[in-house]
Structure 1
Amino acid sequence: MASTKVSHDDDNLDFNKIEAEVQKAVDNDAKYWRENDAKIRAVEQRVGTYDEFREIVLAAHLQPLEKEDKISSMGTFTQVWNQAAEKKTISTEERKEEEGNFRTEGTFNVPKSGQEFVQRWKRLGKSAADQRKFLFTIGATKISELFKTEISGGLLGEFLECFQVFANDEVVSVIEMLEAFMKSQRFSLSLAFLSRKEKAACAALLETLKAHATVTSSPDLTERVAGIEKNFCGEK
């Protein structure tokens, strides 16, 4: 019977065993962060049930197929595609505990820092509707706190672009958000880094807000929009 070759050094260290343990630790760490990101996505998508939440977490390891991928048989494909999500039988007590965690995680957690905000913002992709919902849920007051010093990373332009379309009942929320941006200490610096496209989006947004203020004949909205225009575009 052939023996397995084991690598040792002079101190009798089994390098194969050490390498396996290190790889296992790396894999476990990667799995933790994949599932943690999946939990955050599930919360931000406002999934309706615990089962939906659990399915998203269990599928955290899945990757989309590339064009060159070939599937020889559906049986083989299913085995490979889902091998990292082995079925696990859980007891009633364990399920109750996980559902309790879901209810806690299922509430919207306001970002505690600008860095946390950016991490969650990037996960939203380019969906303007999701971006607006995220901003409105956080609220203008908290946005002012998160970006008290500056709105970094080109975020101001992304904010302006996500406001290109909004519902009539969101007008006040949009105005409040723009006023919150203006309170940033380095707001003028953020303005200076707007691209031509983002400046055009800003101009279009201001025209939409002015038109809404005119239609509603609201002196308060008219005055607030004028103040926003002055800060974003300078004196007219």
Structure 2
Amino acid sequence: MPAADTGTSKAQAMERNDIIDFKALEKELQAALTADEKYKRENAAKLRAVEQRVASYEEFRGIVLASHLKPLEQKDKIEKKTVPWNCHSTQRKTSQDETTEICQEKTRLQPETSAEFYRDWRRYLRSGPERYQALLQLGGAKLGQLFKTDVGFGLLGELLIVLADHVRPADRLVVLGILRSLAGTGRFALNLSLMSHAERESCRGLFQKLQAMGAPRPTKEGLGQEEQDLEELPGGLQEEERLLQELLGPYQVD
């Protein structure tokens, strides 16, 4: 091959090497941007999961894996209408259906940590009666175990308001047990001092109701006071009164 042809071939090869493949470069840049966006998104999801104090690694992992999902916008939401096959059929639920739903609702509140309790308290228990029944169901021992370290800012006041609004004479001993367990939690005095004025008033009203529930009943004609006590006052009332007096100090009730 002549020397001139050899030089021309080398020059053409160098020109081909100098040509920039913009399409490949754009593809590589897009991949790098996608990877960087994924890293930032998942890292933000991890931080949110830590702030929420998730109860398990599975829940933590689920939050990270779902970080790419976006909430539906108003235009994306489709209203689903159910048309009964029988236009004369009633839409009312049977008592059995309602009972089943109530049972399912109750079984949901089985927290093993304070974070799970707070989540269920917000998510499933919306009304005062539901929250009151949930507190009675858990009882003082379980609540004391859940909040051994700390009740949490704002939650103590909510618990006291629910108890004050719905306490019943039949639940007096259980409520006193709940109050005793809450008083034994960490940083109780601090959480008590951070309560609002309305929460303090509810706390005071709760103890007033508990005191009134333990007041002696009017004596019957023909019976002395001692006989009246033996006939009408249930066993263990003295223990309840002793516990009530002990709790006045920690809850700063006059």
| TM-score of the pair, normalised by structure 1 | 0.55
5+ residue gaps in structure 1?
Answer: 1-7, 20-25, 27-60, 70-78, 84-102
The structure-2 alpha-carbon separation of the partners of 1:104 and 1:195, relative to structure 1 and needing over 3 Å to count, comes to closer
Contact 2:111-2:117 within 8 A present in 1 as well: yes
Which among 76, 80, 83 is matched to residue 82 of structure 1? 80
5+ residue gaps in structure 2?
Answer: 1-22, 35-40, 42-70, 82-102, 218-232
Q: Which residue of 2 aligns with 1:153?
A: 153
Q: Which residue of 1 aligns with 2:195?
A: 194
Equivalent position amino acid for 1:111 in 2: P
Query: For residues 178 and 199 of structure 2, what CA distance do their matches in structure 1 show?
Result: 17
Correspondences of 1:118-197 after superposition (within 5 Å): 118-124=118-124, 126-164=126-164, 165-197=166-198
Query: For residues 148 and 124 of structure 2, what CA distance do their matches in structure 1 show?
Result: 23
Query: For residues 205 and 176 of structure 2, what CA distance do their matches in structure 1 show?
Result: 14
Query: For residues 112 and 155 of structure 1, what CA distance do their matches in structure 2 show?
Result: 17
The structure-2 alpha-carbon separation of the partners of 1:227 and 1:106, relative to structure 1 and needing over 3 Å to count, comes to closer
Query: For residues 154 and 9 of structure 1, what CA distance do their matches in structure 2 show?
Result: 57
Q: Does the residue aligned with 2:148 lie in a helix, a strand or coil?
A: coil
Query: For residues 157 and 149 of structure 1, what CA distance do their matches in structure 2 show?
Result: 17
| Percent sequence identity over aligned pairs | 22
What's the Cα RMSD here?
A: 3.8
Deviation at 1:147, TM superposition (A): 0.8
Q: Which residue of 1 aligns with 2:205?
A: 204
Correspondences of 1:1-236 after superposition (within 5 Å): 10=25, 80-82=78-80, 107-108=107-108, 110-124=110-124, 126-164=126-164, 165-215=166-216, 217=233, 218-233=237-252, 236=254
Query: For residues 149 and 188 of structure 1, what CA distance do their matches in structure 2 show?
Result: 13
Equivalent position amino acid for 1:80 in 2: I
Q: Does the residue aligned with 1:163 lie in a helix, a strand or coil?
A: helix
Query: For residues 203 and 106 of structure 2, what CA distance do their matches in structure 1 show?
Result: 34
The structure-2 alpha-carbon separation of the partners of 1:10 and 1:106, relative to structure 1 and needing over 3 Å to count, comes to farther
Q: Which residue of 1 aligns with 2:93?
A: none
Q: Which residue of 2 aligns with 1:44?
A: none
Aligned positions, number: 157
Q: Does the residue aligned with 1:173 lie in a helix, a strand or coil?
A: helix
Residues 130-171 of structure 1 show CA distances to partners (whole Å, capped at 9, x for unaligned) of 111111222211111111121112111000100122232221
Query: For residues 202 and 156 of structure 1, what CA distance do their matches in structure 2 show?
Result: 10
The structure-2 alpha-carbon separation of the partners of 1:201 and 1:120, relative to structure 1 and needing over 3 Å to count, comes to same
Contact 2:150-2:187 within 8 A present in 1 as well: yes
Equivalent position amino acid for 1:140 in 2: G
**Structure whose alpha-carbon radius of gyration is higher:** 2
The structure-2 alpha-carbon separation of the partners of 1:104 and 1:200, relative to structure 1 and needing over 3 Å to count, comes to closer
Query: For residues 9 and 206 of structure 1, what CA distance do their matches in structure 2 show?
Result: 75
Deviation at 1:207, TM superposition (A): 0.5
The structure-2 alpha-carbon separation of the partners of 1:224 and 1:152, relative to structure 1 and needing over 3 Å to count, comes to same
| TM-score of the pair, normalised by structure 2 | 0.51
Deviation at 1:9, TM superposition (A): 5.4
Q: Does the residue aligned with 1:232 lie in a helix, a strand or coil?
A: coil
